[in-house]
Amino acid sequence: MRSIVLLCLLALPMKAQSFQRNDFTFSGGITWGIASYDPYATQVSLGATYGYRVKPWVEPEAGIFGGINPVPSYRNADGYHTFSSRFIWVPFGARFILPLKHDRFELSAGIGGLYENGGNTVGYNGFGGYLKWTAAMALDHRRHFWLGATPRLMLANGTDARDRWFQLTGDIGVRF
């Protein structure tokens, strides 16, 4: 009995975990079409991601991003035409984290699958994959609020298209 009480007393000052497991990230930035559309046409994109850290360096994650009017206008004999288009991307995969400088800075890389829903005059769906890299820093000493930047490469093969997108976002994260 004494050994159990002694073990419990010794375990009290220890931390159960040294990292926050839940990670909500809100992102905003721009996206460029690569090869599929005009590479100089950009679009505003917003999104959110949720991740759950199973280890300090591994985090399965899923998110949703939206892009408004990613398809540029075109000109034909009737004049200029602009599609009322939007794209929705749903990435799901894993992120691998390298904590630096007392866990206040981190670099990470992610890879996984991607679902794409493109809606314009003719909507379509596609599946593919994504790659991402992130650099982030904690804004407070308890490491609950984070600020970062993330470039993403998204590849999707739809019914009639091979979409390639490059996205650059600024990220604000909350961890607990």
pLDDT by residue (tens digit) across 21-56? 999 999 999 988 886 555 556 788 999 999 999 999
Query: Can you tell me the distance from the alpha carbon of 163 to that of 103, in angstroms, rounded to the nearest whole number?
Result: 37
- The model's pTM is 0.80
Query: Can you tell me the distance from the alpha carbon of 95 to that of 123, in angstroms, rounded to the nearest whole number?
Result: 30
The answer to whether the CB of 32 falls within 8 A of the CB of 169 is no
Instruction: Give the residue extent of every domain in the chain.
Output: 16-175
Name the residue among 84, 91, 150, 79 with its Cα closest to residue 116. 91
**Which residue shows structure tokens 């288009």?**
85
Q: How many CB atoms lie under 10 A from the CB of residue 146?
A: 22
Confidence band of 7 (pLDDT split at 50, 70, 90): low
Query: What is the Cα 28 distance to its own chain's centre?
Result: 10
68-97 pLDDT per residue, tens: 865 566 666 666 656 667 789 999 999 999
Architecture in CATH of 16-175: Beta Barrel (2.40)
Token representation of residue 39: 């590479």
